Structure 1
Amino acid sequence: MPNPEAHHPSRSRARPSTSAAARPPARARVSLRQLLRVASVASGIQFGWALQLSLLTPYVQQLGIPHQWASIIWLCGPVSGLFVQPLVGHMSDRCTSRYGRRRPFILVGAVAIVAAVLVIAYAADIGWLLGDTADYRPAAITVFIVGFWILDVANNVTQGPCRALLGDLTSKDPRRTRVANAYYSLFMAIGNILGYATGSYSGWYKIFTFALSPACTISCANLKSAFFLDIAFIAVTTYISIMAAHEVPLNSSEAAHAEAGAGESGSAEEAFMWELFGTFKYFTTPVWIILSVTALTWIGWFPFTLFDTDWMGREIYGGDPNQGLVYDTGVRMGALGLLLNSVVLALTSLFMERLCRKRGAGFVWGISNIMMTVCFLAMLVVTYVANNMGYIGKDLPPTGIVIAALIIFTILGFPLAITYSVPYALISTHIESLGLGQGLSMGVLNLAIVVPQIIVSLGSGPWDQLFGGGNSPAFAVAAVSALISGLIAVLAIPRSGAQKARSHV
């Protein structure tokens, strides 16, 4: 790829002008009510994510995929996110549609989510039509994986423009940016609560009786029915969000100027790659610290989000995905724990802006990550106690063990709320001064999220098997990573002058 600086010597020390020209015209301050409505689409997206996180890891094992390979299935999310979200951010920064820059991508992503959910819901039925049996379902696994990849691509197409749209509406106002991201986190919590509540209920097949089929038994029919509700919810919230966002369209001359500023390298793809990776050298030290803490934070979170309900079904209830109802009972109890987690997430979101303003976003983020460490270590302790009580394989777990597990899930709602909000607000504020578009800045932050997820997806299954199976080894790595990220955030992310002065009062 030609070096753009060879043709533009004056750019060698200048910050990139890629999106300064692409920035929409100045607009009146957006009301908090409008920001609330725009952010509501997060609840629709997160409703589906909650179903994925609580039900799909157990479901893929019920289809016949071994536990050590279940994490590989989740590779599609970070791999698609690695390329799709930055590319969509780049394209939306330059979109000249009369409907705005972000809304067309949000709508297309929502439609793709609906299509993918239908494919996943009917994977077992499609596999049955293609010759699967009750004990051997390669076609169903293939259809499921295809639908799962489409779903994760669609989620990435939708989420990046949603975050970028909030950044557009609150541009150059750090406090309002934090409020907008707190709203987004709040609606993610609402989506989680509804999604996990849906996943924890075992009687949906009685309402959607047509979901039952020779290929799709009760647990499968419950999953299918839950996805029907997901379709309705994503449709409603997407409509509310895109109707509330009154975007100022980017005219063609501004888009052309932006493309010229991206580097005359001969193709849009080269310009995109130059922008994405070429912007790294302009990052200040605080930006690199934010990206590093984000990466370590997600190395901590991903084992939990991948195996949370599986941990409850295996280590706490002692069940097997393919034998009896004990495992399913544990999975539903895990979904209940995630529901409680989301309640705390929602409550935290309401007070997050005030907390960050008083103590500093970096300090709050760091303390929340240290809290993650304590919770992950507590999961290891509970697992050890459960394994030495003698009930595994004989009876249901004692009430005290279940309550302890649920308390851990609940407490983790606080650091999760911080993770869903603070990094986005920090990166949006710091990158604004570099002249980058909000779409591209969200794509850059996304790299710090998906690369760790790829590492965990590839390594967690074999890592767990190396120590005899189970989920504890991955949680141990998560605890160490969360502790390191928390210490870096507390010590290295600078606080504003006002916050420093307040801390000395």
Structure 2
Amino acid sequence: MHVNNILSGAGRFTWGTEMTYCTPYLLQLGLTKSRTSLVWIAGPLSGLIMQPVVGVIADKSKSKWGRRRPFMVVGTLIVSACLLVLGWTKEIVGMFVTDTDTKRTATVVLAVLSIYAVDFAINAVQSSCRSLIVDTLPIPKQQLGSAWASRMISIGHLVGYGAGALDLQRVFGSALGDSQFKRMTVIAALALVVAVGVTCWAVEERVLLSDGKEDGDDSGAFAVLSKILETTMHLPNRIQAICWVQFWSWIGWFPFLFYSTTWVGEIYLRYDASPESREHHDTLGNIGRVGSMSLVVFSIITFIGSFMLPWIVMAPEDEKPGFTPRPPPMLAPIVEKFNKIKPTLLTAWTVSHLIFAGSMVFAPFVSSLRSATTVVAICGIPWALASWAPFTYIGIEINKIGSSPGSPPSRNGPFYRRLSNASFEVEHDPAVLRPHHNSEDIAASTGELAGIYLGILNLFTTLPQFIGTFISMIVFSILEPGKSPELAKEAHPDEHHSTDGPNAIAVCLFIGALASVGAAYATSRLKDMP
């Protein structure tokens, strides 16, 4: 379980590198903020397509290497290659193009294509990673598995932002490139390759064998999309409610994750930077380091929260009426008093939305690097819950499907495996999985169809990102229609734009706060839902 979650951390390292540097990188190349926001449709578009499709295909894969492993390996190779291309776009284009204007345009095009390829491939890796957790853990360990995923994600963020905050020139010299951005792409690619390699070696995944009862024509593109659509339209009530919480929550998280580093860097350049810093030859590196430092604080708080919160928050299976803990007699009075004040995970999740909203409403009023760092850091606790709570609840609900009334008891021992029609089959080889699929009863799928349910959860994570993208585009077009005055000087030295007026990213963060209030309301409704 812990080894697989290392992959979650490495994936977030990659995401962190992209989110920290790619927005200012594109602005430095001369894109306006409104056009840059359209580039980030890559994130939700890749999640919308890749995660559910990869989930369905992997659920039914009969590869001798396992259902998830091939997607992780191929996706990792693509991500690593495209990260390196992204770091060296100018040099690659320069090998084929000499005209200045054409070279500038080709560089932007290649950078955007690389970002799209990274996003599509990393979604395949992340989908397989999350499915492995649900595949391999029984209900009582779903919260623990998701909590460890949250911890590794926070470690990935911490290591990634920590590396970004360092002056890597002093650490590596010119061995990994001549700029901070290039060095970070190399480190991110290597980290992902190592993490996936360790996961593939250490995590035992059972092979799905055909028993001749499956329909051989149900794996085509149309069948996959039809299955996703039908399952989405007939979700169990609680899974549907969890998805809607995720929907409202991610309208708020999208601008924070994609623009917070750039926002902190712009606040620094506008209010705190010395004239020498503003004219530095590696402005992108300066913004990346300053923004990364604020996100290091954010990641430290997330890291502490991801370790401490599972101890002080009641696990979902302990929320049932009549549950009585049995601590050692000497500790019983203390444990009993502590358990009485323990919040439920649902309560903690609800409060986390409100904490995030409360911090983001102050974004438009921030006028110093210290204040910006404080606002970002406060969001560490909500992010720890956002990386843990939804996957805990969705994992529990997926596993409950196989234990519904009229079904045999759920077994997760080495010789049993739940089947998609909620029946069981004794296996004499623990490395073999033989489900009988019932195409007429999609809702009866169990943990073996974790891919499709997690893919659908990801749909409700990515759809609000489209909304956030278009909100950002409108805000940027109104408030900052020109090229970035802080970052576009190198690409367009003849153009000058004022830094007066409200910061457009701060306004996007404020709008996201309003959506988080809606997420808090949607979460509170889960309490009374059967």
Structure 2 length normalisation: TM-score? 0.76
State whether residues 6 and 152 of structure 2, in contact with CA within 8 Å, keep that contact through their aligned partners in structure 1.
yes
Q: Choose from 225, 228, 242 the match for 2:183.
A: 225
* Gap change, CA 1:133 and 1:407, over 3 Å in 2: farther
CA distance in 1, matches of 2:93, 2:474: 28
* Residue 250 of structure 2 is aligned to residue 285 of structure 1: no
2:264 to 312, 316, 322: 312
Residue 382 of structure 2 is aligned to residue 348 of structure 1: no
Deviations 1:453-493, CA, capped at 9 Å, x for gaps: 12212331222332456212211210100111112212x01
Identify if the C-alpha distance between structure 1 residues 117 and 208 changes in structure 2 by more than 3 Å, giving closer, same or farther.
farther
Q: Does 1:418 align with 2:430?
A: no
Partners of 1:356 and 1:311 in 2: CA distance: 36
Does the aligned pair in 1 maintain the 2:164–2:288 contact within 8 Å?
no
Does 1:62 find its partner at 2:31?
no
Which of 349, 357, 369 pairs up with 1:373?
A: 357
CA drift of 1:267 comes to 6.2
Is the contact between residue 33 and residue 476 of structure 2 (CA under 8 Å) also seen in structure 1? no
2:26 partner amino acid: V
Find the counterpart in structure 2 of residue 14 from structure 1.
none
Task: Mark the CA change 1:329 to 1:281 in structure 2 (over 3 Å): closer, same or farther.
Answer: closer
Shift in Å, 1:199: 1.4
| TM-superposed deviation, 1:114 | 0.9
Distance 1:178 1:495 in 2: 20
Partner of 1:481: 515
Q: 1:442 to 1:143 in 2, by over 3 A?
A: same
Aligned: 1:161 with 2:128? yes
Q: Deviations over 1:257-308 (max 9, x none)?
A: 4547xxx7x7622221221110134323322221111011100001111211
Q: CA deviation at 1:403?
A: 2.1
Structure 1 stretches lacking a partner, 5+ long: 1-34, 213-217, 387-400, 498-505
Residues 228-307 of structure 1 correspond to what in structure 2 (within 5 A)?
Answer: 228-253=186-211, 257=213, 259=215, 268-307=220-259
CA distance in 2, matches of 1:69, 1:356: 45
Helix, strand or coil at the partner of 2:67: coil
| Secondary structure, counterpart of 1:471 in structure 2 | helix
> Bigger shift: 466-475 or 104-113?
466-475
Deviations 1:26-71 (A, max 9, x none): xxxxxxxxx1112111121111111111111111111111122111
Give the length in aligned residue pairs: 429
The Cα of 1:205 is off from its aligned counterpart by 7.3
TM-score when scaled to structure 1? 0.80
- One-letter code of the match for 1:324? E
CA-CA distance at 1:137 after TM superposition: 1.0
Which stretch shows the higher mean deviation, 419-428 or 454-463? 454-463
User: What one-letter code is carried by the residue in structure 1 that aligns with 2:297?
Assistant: L
Say what the alpha-carbon RMSD is for the aligned residues: 2.4
Q: Secondary structure at the match of 2:2?
A: helix
For residue 137 of structure 1, give the secondary structure of its aligned residue in structure 2: helix
Q: Which amino acid aligns with 1:425?
A: T
CA distance in 2, matches of 1:182, 1:446: 18
Structure 1 window deviating more from structure 2 (150-159 vs 38-47): it is 38-47
Does residue 472 of structure 1 match 2:506? yes
2:294 is aligned, of 322, 337, 356, to 337
Between the two proteins, what is the percent identity of the paired residues?
Answer: 23
How far apart are residue 131 of structure 1 and its match? 2.4
2:155 counterpart (156, 172, 190):
190
CA distance in 1, matches of 2:228, 2:303: 33
What is the match of residue 363 of structure 1?
347
Question: What does residue 37 of structure 1 align with?
Answer: 3
Aligned to 2:526: 493
Q: Note the 1:75-224 alignment, pairs <5 A.
A: 75-131=41-97, 137-171=104-138, 173=139, 175-204=140-169, 207-209=172-174, 221-224=179-182
Shift of 1:328: 5.1
**Which of the pair is proportionally richer in helix?**
1
Residue 23 of structure 1 is matched in structure 2 by: none
Q: How far apart in 1 are the matches of 2:2 and 2:144?
A: 9
1:311 partner SS: helix
Deviation at 1:435, TM superposition (A): 3.2
Structure 1 residues 203, 267: CA separation in 2 closer, same or farther (over 3 Å shift)? closer
| Structure 2 counterpart SS, 1:454 | helix
Equivalent position SS for 2:527: coil
Residue aligning to 1:52: 18
Q: 1:157 to 1:316 in 2, by over 3 A?
A: same
Distance 1:160-1:267 versus aligned 2 partners, 3 A rule: closer
Whether contact under 8 Å (2:21, 2:284) holds in the other structure is: no
1:194-217: CA deviation from partner (whole Å, max 9, x where unpaired) = 1111212234377241555xxxxx
Pair 1:445 & 2:412 matched = no
Residue matched to 1:435: 444
Partner of 1:455: 467
Q: Determine if contact 1:96/1:249 at 8 Å carries over to the other structure.
A: yes
Check 1:349–1:489 CA distance in 2 against 1; reply closer, same or farther (3 A cut): same
Distance in 1 (CA, whole Å) between partners of 2:356 and 2:215 is: 43
